[in-house]
Every structure is written in C-alpha cells, then in structure tokens.
Amino acid sequence: MSDPSGPRPPRRVAMVTVHTSPLAQPGTGDAGGMNVYVLEVARQLARLGTEVDLFTRTTSAAQPEVVEVEPGVVVRHVAAGPYEGLSKEELPGQLCAFAAGMMRVAAHAPPGHYDLVHSHYWLSGQVGWLAADRWGVPLVHTMHTMARVKNVHLADGDEPEPRGREIGEAQVVEAADRLVANTEREAAELVDLYGADPARVAVAEPGVDLVTFAPGSQAAARAALGVPADAVLLLFVGRIQPLKGPDVLVRAAAELVRRRPDLRDRLVVGVLGGASGSGVRTPMGLDVLAERLGIADLVRFVPPVDRPTLADWYRAADVVAVPSHSESFGLVAVEAMACGTPVVAANVGGLPTAVGPGGLLVDGHDTADWATALGRVALGPETRATLSRRAAEHAQGFGWARTAGRLLEVYREALARPKDVSIDDAERIADVPRAVIP
C-alpha cells in the first residue's frame, strides 16, 4: 500500500482510448469490457478528487466536441481521419492526427494542466507516449489485450494479430513509467512475453457495478424478457467474433439436446451481442451453424442492450457461458456472478481470477466437455444453488471503487518515481500552476 504522507494523487489525468469511445454501447463493433472499464474508473477517480479528461476519436459528425459525463469527467472527441468507415486495423495511420488533436486541446493551458497520462490499448499507448513526453509527465498504460497472448490462443478460423501491433506494444511497454495488468497472470505475461520490468508492473483488478448487477428474481426477469418460466436458459454475452467463442456454446447446446432429447421443449440458447473484429469481415454464421446442428429453433439472437436490461438477462439465465480463447479478465463473468448467476468459463487468461468459486472452468474448447459442464450447472439444482451463492459473494470483491483506489496508488508511484525522472523533477512538474481548458 502507498504511504498516505507520500506524493499526492494527480489532480487531472488525461486518459486515452483512441479506437473506441467510453460512451459507445458495449457488445458490438470495438466496444466491450474496456469501454465499461474506462468510464467506470473515470467516474470513481473523479469522486475521489482526481479529474479525468477522456480522449477518443470522433466517429460521427453528430458527436459534440466535449461531453461532460459528470462533474470531473469529460469526454473529448478528437478528429482523426474520416469519421466513419475506418476499421481498428486502419487506425495506426491516424495516430499522428490524433496526437496533434490532443496537443491542440492542451495548448489552451500552460504546462502542468495534466499531471499524468493513462493510455488504454496499444494504439492509445502510442499516442500517450508522445503526449506524456511532450508534457513532461508520467505515462501509465493498460494493455487490456496483447497480440502475443492472443496469437498463442488463436481460435480456429481467426486471424493472427499483425507483427506491427506486436512491435507497437513492445515499444509502449518500454516507454511506460508504469504498466497496469488486470490480473497476476497478465502481469506475468507482460514480463515473460514483452520483457517488462517487474518493478514497473502493477495489478489492478477490474470491477463491476454492484448496484446495477445484483441478485434478483429469475421469474421476474424472465417475464420482462419474454423467456418461458420453465426454460433452461444458457446465455452468451459479448462481441460476436471467433476470439469470444460463441460457437462453442451453440455446439455444446446441440450436444446437450442429443444427450437429453427431452430438453428440446425447454432449452433456450441466448446469444446477446453484435459482430466485432474479424466477425465483421467474416461473419461467424452462428445461425447457419445452429441450423446445421438442428437447434435453430432454440437459439435466440439478441442485439446489445442497456445495462439494466443486461442485468435482467443475467438473472434470467441458468448459467452464463464465457468460452473465450483469450481474455485479459472477463467482465461478463463478474457481472453475471454479481447477479447470482453461475458461470462456466474457459480456463484462460484472467478468467480463473474473475470466476473464482462462482462457477466451473473448462480446459480447452471440446464440445463434449462444455456440454458436460453446462449440463452439470444448468440441470443440477443443488450444484446451481451452491454456485449461485458463491458467485454473488465472490463478485462483492470487485467494486469499481476498489479498482480506482488501486489505480491512485499506481499514479502516486509513477509521480514519485517516473522512469528517467527524479522525485524532485516530478514534484516540480506537478506543482506548475493549472488553467482551465474550455
């Protein structure tokens, strides 16, 4: 823990999230757990006294230049390339334009307006690196996902991450004063796969909105969503792309029906999300897969929904499947468990930390293994009741206020001893008079 008498926390942080807006609807396009993370952390930091400016790329002419989310949290849309039609893979060509836009914003104030830069994902890390260097402040970076990890666990039919991304990530790892990992496993991957200095790697586990995502009546949730009261509901929530493995759930559901033909009258397979990443360029064809497996009438495709409705879906489900091939943490798993719903998840990345005692972990993505695990929970009332209780208890340890508190510790450390900057220099930079940016 940090020394309360040590360096004060930053007064204002510039957070960078180039490729996806914290205001975007999670579950489609490039919007997912990172969007939720950035916005929730910013809110909590502001409530703790650290203001946050969130810089993201403008993707529509209708977006205002500045959006105040709440006191102390501002989203700043930066023009960088065409508003629409650019994929994430095309954004490296717009990083200079984005950085220039950030510089123009900061030009309205004297040096010292931002105490620290916190970038999210490697594209933002490239921009954050330049901004932090220009402003003479520390750079804190969170990877969220890593190319070398994803390529080791590549799903069948998915595309490997390009060499350019690997190089860009390695550069950010070297440049950052502090690296924030979601779990101890991710921290080890930063050291092992990218040669990160262990002394500059810290762990801050993501959180969950424990007010929105809380246990409730399954019957009421099903009535609100139009799900039969006696259904056996298996649920997938997330972006529809090979990395997330929604096909694993569809195949496992078909296997359950083969084993238990009586389930056909009650089984509902919910797939909640929109196409993303390689799933946009090459649609996964889950509907075609379900048709071929003979369960098209059991699969219900639902577009992304708002957070309260998402909580109802979690409560309505008997089990939530998280069959990802790679996952830095697994926010869906924690949201589901906060609602008292057990999880069956792949034993990869941060999912063991996220799931804990609130579900089952499956090694690999074999259809038979997944059918067995899902059936054990969804069709075993005693098992489900035990896991449901444990899930709700485990999720209580993942509030966003806890995440923000840990980040403030990391920020203090970075301000006290930024890489290549002395304590005296850091304090001098932080004490420069501040001004208000319009």
- Known binding-site residues for Mg(2+) equal 314-315, 317, 341
Q: Which two tokens stand for residue 270?
A: 């919910």
Binding residues: 19, 25-26, 30-35, 88, 121, 145, 165, 239, 244, 305, 314-315, 317, 327, 335, 341
For residue 120, give the nearest of 192, 205, 197, 15 by alpha carbon. Answer: 15
Element of type H or E holding 328:
none
With a CB cutoff of 8 Å and minimum separation 6, the contacts of 157 are 242, 282
Binding residues for 1D-myo-inositol 3-phosphate: 19, 30-35, 88, 121, 145, 165
Other C-beta atoms within 10 Å of 222: how many?
A: 21
Residue type for position 219: A
Beta bridge partners of 232: 267
CA atoms of 249 and 230, how far apart (whole Å):
20
- In this structure, the chain runs to a length of 438
Spatial strand order in the sheet of 267-272:
299-302, 267-272, 232-237, 319-322, 343-346, 359-362
Other C-beta atoms within 10 Å of 253: how many?
A: 28
Beta strands in 147-225 (DSSP E): 178-181, 201-203
Binding residues for UDP-N-acetyl-alpha-D-glucosamine: 25-26, 33, 239, 244, 305, 327, 335
Q: Which two tokens stand for residue 282?
A: 């090459």
Q: Is 377 helix (H, G, I), strand (E, B) or coil?
A: helix
Burial bucket for residue 245 (CB in 10 Å: 0-12, 13-18, 19+): buried
